[in-house]
Structure 1
Amino acid sequence: MTSLHITRVRRRGLGVAAAAAGLFATLLTAGPAVATPDPGDAPAKKKGLSTSQQAEARAAIENGEIPGVDEIVHSKNIEHLVNIPKDAIKGTNSDLAFQGEYAFAGNYDGFRIFDISNPKAPKTVSQVLCPGSQNDISVSGNLLFLSTDSSRSDNSCTSTSQPATEKSSWEGMKIFDISDKSNPRYVAAVETACGSHTHTLVPGGRNVYVYVSSYSPSETFPDCKPPHDGISIIKVPRRAPEKSAVVDFPVLFPDGGNPGAPTNPGVSRTTGCHDITVLPSKDLAAGACMGDGIIFDIEDPERPRVIDRVQDNVNFAFWHSATFNQKADKVVFTDELGGGSAATCNAATGPERGADGIYDITGKGDQRKLVFRSYFKIDRHQADTENCVAHNGSLIPVKGKDIMVQAWYQGGISVWDFTDSAKPEEIAFFERGPLSTTTMSTAGSWSAYYYNGYIYSNDMAKGFDVLKLNDKRTDGAQRVRLNELNVQTQPDYRR
């Protein structure tokens, strides 16, 4: 176990063309964003706890078992450099992307661009108001992509929420030109079936392909009817993004996927994918698809082929995301038990639920198989007021080792080594104490990613954090420099 270093910190408190007028560098108001009512990443309303639960949380703080409200605790080998609170964009912070000396931070109300040329003092370059949960974000060249997975009145950035039962409602992909980081321009929109909960970029020369993950269809939704057993593929011409269009909807689960309850109680029924990670250098992808985990061939990006598929009907409730190791002979899948809004990092839940599942990839070509090896879950128990479960992370590119940094919502940030698939271990961590000892409200790190020598985190409530990892086991990663990083489009660090 790593030793603790405690820092006490108290915090003070439509078209596309028509939408462009609202996209100025800094916007001072932000409309509410509507979360999808489905499992996975949906912010929950504050929930009061019982008197006994509140007493337990207070006692745990007094006994030193968990940090106090707004207290920061971290291992000796992590340094917290800076926190940048939310500013004009007030919604829930979501995913991150990177390009050069810029970080792009998604938010349910839009996105924010930071200049990180000095990681100790990031500066806001622009903020764009464009509500539409969950605004999953990625960048490629001069283009920025933003997912909308809430039913909107139209595709503009001034849209309002509207029931998905309305035929005129819109959900899908928004595309911005970011050649001028201080003034992003909204240039295209593509509607996709069931919206876009997350998306993944697959580079293709003159074009970039976007794999759109969405789920939870209903017979009452005109644009999202079952079966919904695949992904939308958007082809985006780099020089003419206004011509972007869906080119296919490949079926990944011809048998319908995991049936969920009552056949498999406590497991999500597969009605699409939550997230996909691609490794273009290997023409390989891994899909976390609600009740199923898959790997598939993407040699032809418009025609992906499933190679193998696994289920865990004992401990995995919701297959959420995936990360390859550097050799592409392992995949880490995450289980978002409780949809990201429940307290699952406690003794009652145990070490195998709401955890990571580590799978070896054996065999070659179409004979490759996913073989389960072990689970990893942080062993620092959290209060019943803290939403905590495995969430978004990235590799730390250490030669010959498999090490990643990962967000755990209010469980904080964990750095862990899975070089031995059967014996993963945590080597560093950072976390804040609960927001409250009386109510449950969603907060904590949504994404924690390593980029060019630093760890960047987007905390749903507290804002943008920058951390420095000082450990001889990871020092070699500091020599690796990237010009662009979308974590779900994994680079080949071995080149």
Structure 2
Amino acid sequence: MGRWRSGATAAAIGAVLVMAGCTADPKPAATPAGGTPTPGGTSSTAPASADGVQHSPNARLVANVPLSKPFDGEHALGSDLAFQGDFAFVGNFQGFTIVDISDPAKPKVVTRVVCPGSQNDISVSGNLLFLSVDEPRDGDTCTSGDGDPAEGWEGIRIFDISDKTKPRYIKSLATDCGSHTHTLVPGKDASKVYLYISSFGPLSGPHCAPPHDSIAVVEVPVQNPAQAKVVSQPVLFHDGEDDSKPGATSGCHDITVYPEKDLAAGACIGNGILMDISDRAQPKVLQQVIDTENFSTWHSATFSNDASRVIFSDELGGGMSPTCDAKTGPLHGADAVYDITADRKLKRRGYFKIPRYQTATENCVSHNGSLIPVPGKTILVQGWYQGGVSVADFTDPDHPKEIAYVDRGPVDPDGGEPRIAGSWSAYYYNGYIYSSDMTKGLDIIAIDDPLTDPAKPVRMDELNPQTQVSYPE
């Protein structure tokens, strides 16, 4: 959730669908009919900083907070981000980190909280912090271990962060099929917030039986979060247990809400959906769209500032495969732009994919991003795993184009099998881009470009990127 101010484990990463083959030699990619020109190229021609990080001339890495003890093990992967005031909250498969970013060039770790649970998707609201757990644990506490696949606990954990140096664990809530991601939704009044719990399956066991075509809605009384409870389990799809048909789904991967507009966009594995959330506890599907030609796993969504469009991403290969290559092409593992029509329907426009081919060892696909608050334009910063951080202008929805990037290069330059690494999430907050790199930690990136400069004076008090708010036009 944001408020704008104008001023001067391997199991959770999870749904691995394919391990793609080797890349071809880079060459110009074809322009698809009705799609977006995506020129080929290699990152080897890009400018590089002293530490070898490749970047466009208008973007540069200014600071990094590395993964250090206790988050320095093989399974301590960085995940999503949230922001509040002078602090960044960095999810990790082993817990979360609070970082002081009052001076973005000199970030400081305030505390690291060990609380294992894949994938620890994170959000903040006032004095509360929420973590998603999408793997069975043998209990709901931060000292829990691996649990029974059928009977283990998984769901949402709630913390009090009024003291940033000593977050306090308040309670947990079990949710069906766990919580792969969650979205914070402010209530119609300030006394409550809601969480839309996205999870997919089904799996064996009483808590995740087929069909799983729903989300869980958690209501949290702000002044008494210990009374948080699941208040509804709305069924969004009615395709039953047969998930073999095009567009069939088994739950949502991620949901982005635009509370001011009473709208939500869901990336729901087999399709994209638009929802009415005027009744926060009972979201209703307005339309479903499928793309059997180009989309594989609908992963996330971002509205334009005026909510006239939505950008969906496709996590082809479950994020594990090297799909940013000539063989895969510009329309798979990409972003797709949809108009929201006057009668609240979705109409597809163009596609976007980063124009730099990656090596056969680099997992690369479209992942989490957010708008850069530029009046009158739709500019998205986005993580692409080992494809790095990309900034693209979607203002012309038929021809989006990249305007800036930072690419750390392959985590394993000497070859071998692709392994999970790179930018999980990249978001713009108060003048800088913050990227949660799964193995390198928190990257802070400066961008200086005439297209993005109007965003520099904009300040936010709080940002959960999946909870969009309008900024001044």
TM-score (structure 2 length as normaliser) = 0.89
Is 2:438 the counterpart of 1:438? Answer: no
Q: 2:430 aligns with which of 452, 468, 472?
A: 452
Tell me how far apart the structure 2 counterparts of residues 251 and 412 of structure 1 sit (CA, whole Å). 36
Secondary structure, in 3 states, of the residue corresponding to 1:390?
Answer: coil
Greater relative contact order (Cα 8 A, min sep 6): structure 1 or 2?
2
Q: 2:440 aligns with which of 444, 462, 476?
A: 462
Return closer, same or farther for 1:56/1:312 CA change in 2, 3 Å cut-off. Answer: closer
Q: 2:264 aligns with which of 269, 285, 292?
A: 285
Match of 1:384 in 2: 360
Tell me how far apart the structure 2 counterparts of residues 356 and 98 of structure 1 sit (CA, whole Å). 25
Query: 8 Å contact 2:63–2:445 — kept in the other structure?
Result: yes
Return closer, same or farther for 1:430/1:64 CA change in 2, 3 Å cut-off. Answer: closer
Tell me how far apart the structure 1 counterparts of residues 258 and 472 of structure 2 sit (CA, whole Å). 12
Match of 1:116 in 2: 101
Secondary structure, in 3 states, of the residue corresponding to 2:207?
Answer: coil
Query: 8 Å contact 1:94–1:108 — kept in the other structure?
Result: yes
Q: 2:236 aligns with which of 238, 252, 263?
A: 252
Flag as ranges the 4+ runs of structure 1 deviating above 4 A.
Answer: 53-57, 65-68
Tell me how far apart the structure 2 counterparts of residues 255 and 309 of structure 1 sit (CA, whole Å). 12
Any residues of structure 2 matched to 1:4-83 within 5 Å, and which? 33=9, 35-36=11-12, 38-39=14-15, 64=44, 71-83=52-64
Query: 8 Å contact 2:24–2:326 — kept in the other structure?
Result: no
Provide, for residues 39-86 of structure 1, a one-character-per-residue CA deviation record: whole Å limited to 9, x for no partner.
27x9x9xx9x99xx69989xxx99946899x83110010121011210
RMSD of equivalent CA atoms: 2.4
Provide, for residues 3-42 of structure 1, a one-character-per-residue CA deviation record: whole Å limited to 9, x for no partner.
xxxxxxxxxxxxxxxxxxxxxxxxxxxxxx56337427x9
Match of 2:392 in 1: 416
Query: 8 Å contact 1:67–1:432 — kept in the other structure?
Result: no
| Displacement of 1:433 | 1.3
| Displacement of 1:163 | 2.7
Match of 1:87 in 2: 68
Residue 493 of structure 1 aligns with an amino acid whose one-letter code is Y
Match of 2:451 in 1: 473
Tell me how far apart the structure 1 counterparts of residues 341 and 131 of structure 2 sit (CA, whole Å). 35
* Gap runs ≥5 in structure 1: 1-32
Q: 1:274 aligns with which of 243, 246, 253?
A: 253
Match of 1:313 in 2: 292
Is 2:407 the counterpart of 1:407? Answer: no
Tell me how far apart the structure 1 counterparts of residues 102 and 211 of structure 2 sit (CA, whole Å). 47
Return closer, same or farther for 1:144/1:355 CA change in 2, 3 Å cut-off. Answer: same
Query: 8 Å contact 2:183–2:196 — kept in the other structure?
Result: yes
Secondary structure, in 3 states, of the residue corresponding to 2:154?
Answer: strand
Matched pairs, number: 442
Any residues of structure 2 matched to 1:46-445 within 5 Å, and which? 64=44, 71-88=52-69, 89-90=71-72, 91-165=76-150, 167=151, 169-204=152-187, 205-218=190-203, 220-256=204-240, 261=244, 263-264=245-246, 269-363=248-342, 367-436=343-412, 437-439=414-416, 440-445=418-423
Tell me how far apart the structure 2 counterparts of residues 492 and 211 of structure 1 sit (CA, whole Å). 20
| Displacement of 1:470 | 0.3
Secondary structure, in 3 states, of the residue corresponding to 1:281?
Answer: helix
Query: 8 Å contact 1:34–1:161 — kept in the other structure?
Result: no
Greater Cα offset, 86-95 or 107-116: 86-95
Return closer, same or farther for 1:63/1:300 CA change in 2, 3 Å cut-off. Answer: closer
| Displacement of 1:256 | 4.1
Tell me how far apart the structure 2 counterparts of residues 244 and 340 of structure 1 sit (CA, whole Å). 33
Provide, for residues 103-129 of structure 1, a one-character-per-residue CA deviation record: whole Å limited to 9, x for no partner.
000000000000000000100000000
Tell me how far apart the structure 2 counterparts of residues 352 and 272 of structure 1 sit (CA, whole Å). 24
* Gap runs ≥5 in structure 2: 1-8, 27-40
Match of 2:31 in 1: none
Tell me how far apart the structure 2 counterparts of residues 236 and 55 of structure 1 sit (CA, whole Å). 51
Provide, for residues 287-307 of structure 1, a one-character-per-residue CA deviation record: whole Å limited to 9, x for no partner.
000001001111110111111
Residue 415 of structure 2 aligns with an amino acid whose one-letter code is T
Secondary structure, in 3 states, of the residue corresponding to 2:147?
Answer: coil
Provide, for residues 446-486 of structure 1, a one-character-per-residue CA deviation record: whole Å limited to 9, x for no partner.
00000000000000011110011101111111111110000
Provide, for residues 294-336 of structure 1, a one-character-per-residue CA deviation record: whole Å limited to 9, x for no partner.
0111111011111111000111000000000001000000000
Q: Percent identity?
A: 54
| Displacement of 1:221 | 1.6
Residue 99 of structure 1 aligns with an amino acid whose one-letter code is Q
Tell me how far apart the structure 2 counterparts of residues 37 and 125 of structure 1 sit (CA, whole Å). 27
Secondary structure, in 3 states, of the residue corresponding to 2:260?
Answer: helix
Provide, for residues 212-253 of structure 1, a one-character-per-residue CA deviation record: whole Å limited to 9, x for no partner.
0000112x2221111111100001111111111100000111
Provide, for residues 401-437 of structure 1, a one-character-per-residue CA deviation record: whole Å limited to 9, x for no partner.
1101000000001100011110101000110111113
Secondary structure, in 3 states, of the residue corresponding to 2:112?
Answer: strand
